[in-house]
Amino acid sequence: MSQITAADVKKLRELTGAGMMDCKKALNETGGDMDAAVDFLRKKGLSAASKKAGRVAAEGVVATLTDGGRGVIIEVNAETDFVSKNEKFIGFVDAVAKIVLDKAPADVEALKALPFDDELNVEQALSQLIATIGENITIRRFQRIEVGGTAAAYVHGAGKIGVLVGFEGDVDQETARGVAMHVAAANPAYISRDDVDAEAVERERRVLTERAMASGKPEAIVEKIVTGQLNKFYSEVCLLEQDFVMDTDQKVGKAIGDARVVSMTRYQLGEGIEKKEDDFAAEVAAQVKGA
């Protein structure tokens, strides 16, 4: 039997994402044959992780982490809502959020290559989590901000909706968190009217103008009507012009005083993921046929 080296163990870990002791055991069991050791680990459960990768993961959690002017929002998906309450899953999400906050990776692939602990990188730790929990788990997306003022966050519904807002200038913590809660509830599309696409505004203006002119009103009146309706449009889609949910007597822009909102991210768990619609009758039929 060939000598098992630390380099062999390291290579097998990189190939499979399995733990160090598991890799060492696999190499010992297979006489140092790398391909056989990979197969050995797959038979022990890691192959299940690769099979699970094709299954739809639209549950999970949206989590946030802030530290002064730094903040992170991250979505990690699993197949069932039950997993979102699993301590190992929650611990993994929290640890990954801290890595993003501290290391500022460019994207998810860069994040996966970063160290998770003294033994594993993030991708390897994820593979182990999949094998342990038995569901497909994916790190879907994250956003990291670093502002000169305050990073405020809010998570609603045990991770169903998460918000991260960045402020420049002085804003008290209560108001900052209130704005994050407002974004969760109202889901504004833009921070201010300056952010609205000019073509979208012009298209809206044309539609409103044609509608008002069709009513036969004078041109001067039409202009006033269109201006009023455009202002209403802005108040519906722009954060700073919306009525503040924490105090509906004032707009969000007034509530934050001289501070400026420079960043706004809202994640809704599973949004945009096409969920598989299970055919219960077909599932039962398949089970009967296979019995």
Instruction: Tell me the domains of the chain and their CATH numbers.
Output: 6-52 (1.10.8.10), 59-194+238-268 (3.30.479.20), 197-236 (1.10.286)
For residues 2 and 32, the answer to whether their CB atoms sit within 8 Å is: yes
The tokens describing 171, both together, are: 């804003």
* CB neighbours of residue 123 within 10 Å: 18
End-to-end CA distance of the chain: 44
Question: What secondary structure letter does DSSP report for 3?
Answer: P
pLDDT for 291: 45
Compute, in degrees rounded to 10, the torsion defined by CA atoms 145, 139, 157, 104.
Answer: -20
For residues 82 and 163, the answer to whether their CB atoms sit within 8 Å is: no
pLDDT for 48: 43
pLDDT for 42: 67
pLDDT for 98: 98
Q: At what angle do helices 6-16 and 122-133 cross, to 10 degrees?
A: 70
Q: How far apart are CA 46 and CA 132, in angstroms?
A: 9
- Which helix or strand (DSSP H or E) is residue 139 part of? strand 138-146
Q: How far apart are CA 165 and CA 188, in angstroms?
A: 12
For residues 179 and 261, the answer to whether their CB atoms sit within 8 Å is: yes
Tens-digit pLDDT string for the chain (291 aa): 568 888 888 887 766 666 778 888 888 989 888 878 877 776 665 544 555 555 667 799 999 999 999 999 999 999 988 999 999 999 999 999 999 999 999 999 999 999 999 989 999 999 989 988 888 899 999 999 999 999 999 999 989 999 999 999 999 999 999 999 999 999 999 999 999 989 888 988 898 998 888 888 888 898 899 999 999 999 999 999 999 999 999 999 999 999 999 999 999 999 988 665 444 455 555 555 554
pLDDT for 192: 96
Residue indicated by tokens 């002017």: 69
Task: Return the closest-CA partner of residue 173 out of 250, 62, 71, 265.
Answer: 71
Q: How far apart are CA 4 and CA 62, in angstroms?
A: 42
